[in-house]
Amino acid sequence: MEQILALFAIFLAFAFSGKCSDVFSRSDYPEGFVFGAGTSAYQWEGAAAEDGRKPSLWDTLCHSRDQGNGDIACDGYHKYKDDVKLMVDTNLDAFRFSISWSRLIPNGRGPVNQKGLQFYKNLIQELVSHGIEPHVTLYHYDHPQSLEDEYGGWLNHRMIKDFTTYADVCFREFGNHVKLWTTINEANIFSIGGYNDGDTPPGRCSKPSKNCSSGNSSIEPYIVGHNLLLAHASVSRRYKQKYKDKQGGSIGFSLFILGLIPTTSSKDDATATQRAQDFYVGWFLRPLLFGDYPDTMKRTIGSRLPVFSEKESEQVKGSCDFVGVIHYHAASVTNIKSKPSLSGNPDFYSYMETDFGKSLDFQYANTPWAMEVVLEYIKQSYGNPPVYILESAKFTFQWQQIGTPMKQDSQLKQKDIPRVEYLHAYIGGVLKSIRNGSDTRGYFVWSFMDLYELLGGYEVGFGLYTVNFSDPHRKRSPKLSAYWYSDFLKGESAFLDSQGIKELQSKYSSSF
């Protein structure tokens, strides 16, 4: 309770300052701090049916909805060398990407697809030869559809063995050049979105969430979350036993973490905020760092929450070398005074018994204090583990439906000003957290270029670079944020007021 009220005080101190007014530069960050940008396989690669790749959960879900798909996406599979050149131009330290399990081992287990293997070897070699560190995510919502059809994917304990075998191939083949591995991307969002809400792969849910064709929102998110934790622990153990001494890498686990603050200073809202933190963050971090689920969840969910055996608890605890934080914005939390019925089939939100306010605007307001709240919460509640910010960004609406001519937006540089302000503010917020003792070691912009977005298709863009998705060649063009980030990574001091924005625009006016 005291921690939440302390975090609320941080919120009050910074709530009315959406911009970072401090002057700072890259040299202010600790030695070894990594700046990068990211993508994921399905969103960037394309070549969905080429060279032996078979469908994943993403393919199946996206082809069942009218929001486009990643069949071609950015065509990174064919254009990766050009993209690495852009990374060099942007002065990135590192590039975060995911490996497509269904490209590397198309059937989920069994023979390795040699063409898929060669693609990732080529990509990693291209990065390393240009001085860019590869940061690899093993799982980004995209196991082969064949495993889903055969035994239900993450709902089945068999997935742990197959995932460990797949990870072993990655460590064996790529580990000499990869030092940072993330096992699971956004484990909490995958479990909730895919098995409670039905919005993300594999699209399972039940009433009262939504009326999906299959699923059980009252129990499946917890089964999946449990198996994700056991799979992560198994993979971490495999790496430490077989590869760590030779390769010297680290194994992490990533979560989507909102900057949660109480709606009011009342004790009820503070308690509700702690409960929400337990459900969203503690659900995974407490087992990873302390060996068991939060007491709040165990009391509320009861027998529907799986139980770790003593051996499993020991294996999960301490299996994470770093925490990958995916953070975009803040949300306020209100206690629900009239408790919903937990009889029948209560969903994830019924158990949590809280109400979430919206972020300050749908496109993510500049609330850098929210980043500070997240990092302070992790420091205070979980023993200050090493942290990498694996995604953080602001999007803009800018694309027409794919297949139609791209709008020529003469105001593109103006439209990107909010993204520049966001990056400046949040990167500055990370620096403040480091100075306050947070062991944060890297910041990755989401995303390196505009991608196929699961919940937005091609109508929203998070990228530092635009991609003309109506052009068969998928032409890339830098946005104002790409120039700002590049300048910052070259060592230029970061300070943004109205004059600074004008100078940035003027400096690169000929590029638009």
Q: Which of 173, 312, 376, 391 is catalytic?
A: 391
Is residue 391 part of the annotated active site? The answer reads yes
| 163 known ligand binder | no
Q: Which of 126, 133, 173, 186 is catalytic?
A: 186
Query: What is the edge-to-edge ordering of all strands in the sheet holding 354-356?
Result: 259-262, 330-335, 354-356
User: Using an 8 Å Cβ cutoff, are 105 and 111 in contact?
Assistant: yes
| 422 known ligand binder | no
| 414 known ligand binder | no
| 401 known ligand binder | no
The residues that bridge with 322 in the sheet, in sequence order, are 252
| 328 known ligand binder | yes
| 372 known ligand binder | no
Please state the separation of Cα 196 from the chain's center in Å: 19
| 196 known ligand binder | no
Whether the bond between 202 and the residue before it is cis, its omega within 30 degrees of 0, is yes
Which residues, other chains included, contact 314 with Cβ-Cβ below 8 Å and sequence gap of 6+? 291
Do the bridges between strand 440-446 and strand 396-397 make them parallel or antiparallel, or are there none, so unpaired? Answer: unpaired
Specify the residue for token string 């991307």.
185
The pair of structure tokens assigned to 132 is 């860019």
Do the bridges between strand 354-356 and strand 259-262 make them parallel or antiparallel, or are there none, so unpaired? Answer: unpaired
Task: Please list the alpha-helical segments (H only) found in 322-473.
Answer: 348-352, 368-382, 412-415, 417-435
Q: How far is CA 105 from CA 120, 143, 149, 317, in A?
A: 12, 10, 16, 29
Please state the separation of Cα 307 from the chain's center in Å: 27
| 140 known ligand binder | yes
Binding-site sequence positions for a beta-D-glucoside? 43, 140, 185-186, 328, 391, 446, 462
The residues carrying an active-site annotation are 186, 391
Binding-site sequence positions? 43, 140, 185-186, 328, 391, 446, 462
